[in-house]
Amino acid sequence: MPSNTLTQLASDEKTSLKHNDKTGPKPTASKHNAVGTKTNTPASASRNASSKGNTLEFEKKKQNFLTRALSTFIMIFGFFGIVIGGHLWTILLVLVLQILTFKEVISITYEPARYKRLPYNRSLNWYFLATSLYYLDGKFLIFYFKHVILLDTFLTPLATHHKFISYCLYVLGIVLFVCFLQKGYYKFQFAQLCATHMTLILVVLQAHFIINNILTGMFWFFLPVSLVIVNDIFAYICGITFGKTRLIAISPKKTVEGFVGAWIFTVLFSLLITFILSPYKYIICPVDDDLSVNIIKGLDCELNPVFIPQEYRIPPMIAEALHYYSITIKPIYFHAIVLATFASLIAPFGGFFCSGLKRAFKVKDFADTIPGHGGITDRMDCQFIMGSFSYLYYETFISTHKVSVSSILQMAVVNLDPDQVTQLIDSLLNYLHKSGRLNLNNYNQIIKLVSESSPRKR
């Protein structure tokens, strides 16, 4: 028994020595450590990690702010440069923006895995876009490039039969869609067709109205665009300064205080920008038939009555208090207030609509086209509805609906055959002769030339 016990103790001691050799001696707490140095406890490590995380978060926000600010300045200066460059460049800008917006909206709705088996569906989206652009902007191309289109043998039918060709192209698209239907994908394909048409209405149609605003006068393009931008800026500033009450569930960061504050500042801005822009004919005059105009060439026109100062009577009660009985002001200021109110109270719901769409498809932004801002759609969501309202408001309350020589020429060339055009010339010459603008000798000579060149005489 004793020998066995000793053997066991010796064995235990060897095992203990081996363990100490592997692990090393335990550190002893010195007096210095106990008194003068703080140990790295779990709580302090957590605080250090939190501080480091806050620093990284701050740097990230700072970098994002700088990127966003740089992109903003580039867009602002680019926008002013294009507007100064002329109406044609501004129209091209709108065309490019609507195509990019269409691409972004359609892209968030398609599923790559399914498109691998349905290669033609995405092509159909672009086909419908091209057809819509031809139908909506074909008239614009005919009118402003008629000196090329109407004198070209190949292009003339595209102009004279514009509506019928547009209809045939659209029907062909529907036929192709039906031919491309595949079993097991019916619901997906019809959902894509609906999404495409919704995007065409909300983006392409409203962009067409914006192009009409440009042709009506750069004022009717620049004012609505700037009102939306200013409203967005002041909604952010007023929101972070005074915001307490949430405005709408779909966009939790929007507040009632920011909404109302932005309205007030946008109305004030509308009066200021109208005061600055309204004296310049390049800004307020419509384009007649020359799209090559720019700020250097300038424009001239008979002013729309809204840009001419008019006298308004002040209500008697207010007049007695102020000792002013009338005020002379341009009517355009009142219209600017209406546009500013729409830009502040209604146009933001275009942005809320897009926010709901992004939440439905679980995406933060439509794309990353603009550094720091997201996609084109994220910046244009309010502009489309604002542009369409401005167009309809102008046509309803401001337009004088005057017929120009260019519009009459377009109607004559597009809708009349050569014999009818000759008859029209005869009638116009007869009118000029009877009104005393054309003497009898010149009248007879011109009538003779027209008769000899008439197709019926050949």
Are 245 and 269 in contact, with CB atoms under 8 Å apart? no
Token couple for 1: 């028994």
CA distance 199 to 103: 10
Are 368 and 374 in contact, with CB atoms under 8 Å apart? yes
pLDDT at 304: 93
Cα separations in angstroms, 163 against 134, 220, 306: 9, 27, 34
Domain ranges of the chain: 61-407, 416-457
pLDDT at 307: 96
Rounded to the nearest 5°, which phi and psi values hold at 287?
A: -85, 130
pLDDT at 146: 62
Are 320 and 300 in contact, with CB atoms under 8 Å apart? no
Q: Is 111 exposed, middle or buried (0-12, 13-18, 19+ CB in 10 A)?
A: exposed
CA distance 333 to 324: 19
pLDDT at 93: 94
Name the one residue in this structure whose structure tokens are 């195509």: 99
Give residue 362's region: left, alpha or beta (phi > 0; psi -120 to 50): left
User: Which residues pair with residue 329 across a beta bridge?
Assistant: 310
Are 438 and 429 in contact, with CB atoms under 8 Å apart? yes
pLDDT at 152: 58
pLDDT at 17: 44
pLDDT along the chain (458 residues), means of 10: 44 48 47 46 62 70 75 84 90 94 88 72 92 87 62 66 92 96 90 93 95 94 95 91 88 90 97 96 87 84 93 87 87 97 96 89 81 80 95 94 68 75 84 82 80 59
CA distance 369 to 76: 16
CA distance 298 to 39: 77
First-residue to last-residue Cα distance in the chain? 144
